[in-house]
């Protein structure tokens, strides 16, 4: 009887470990890089584009992200 209990406990432990690992992996953000004119004569357009990207990002992340993962913007 103890052998069955040990095997059941081991199987349950492995299942819980897999569930915890998949939840931690899903929490990592997806990083998306964008190139914008942030200085010079075109900086005003870069600011408008940045605000547009932020608006879209807020909508996507508000709906749960992409497959449960949030999106993070990186600007250059």
pLDDT tens digits along 22-67: 555 557 999 999 999 999 999 999 999 999 999 999 999 999 999 9
At 19, which CATH number?
Answer: 3.40.50.2300
Other Cβ atoms closer than 10 A to 57: 16
Element (H, E) at 31: strand 30-34
For 11, the domain range is: 2-75
pTM, to two decimals:
0.59
Distance CA 68, CA 47 (A): 28
Hunting for tokens 């103890």 — which residue is that?
2
What pLDDT shows up at residue 33? 93
- Please tell me the total count of domains within the chain: 1
């Amino acid at each position: 009887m103890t052998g069955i209990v040990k095997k059941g406990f081991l199987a349950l432990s492995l299942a819980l470990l897999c569930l915890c690992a998949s939840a931690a992996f899903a929490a990592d953000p997806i990083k998306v890089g964008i190139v914008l004119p942030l200085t010079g004569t075109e900086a005003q357009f870069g600011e408008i584009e940045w605000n547009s990207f932020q608006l879209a990002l807020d909508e996507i992340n508000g709906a749960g992200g992409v497959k449960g993962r949030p999106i993070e913007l990186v600007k250059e």
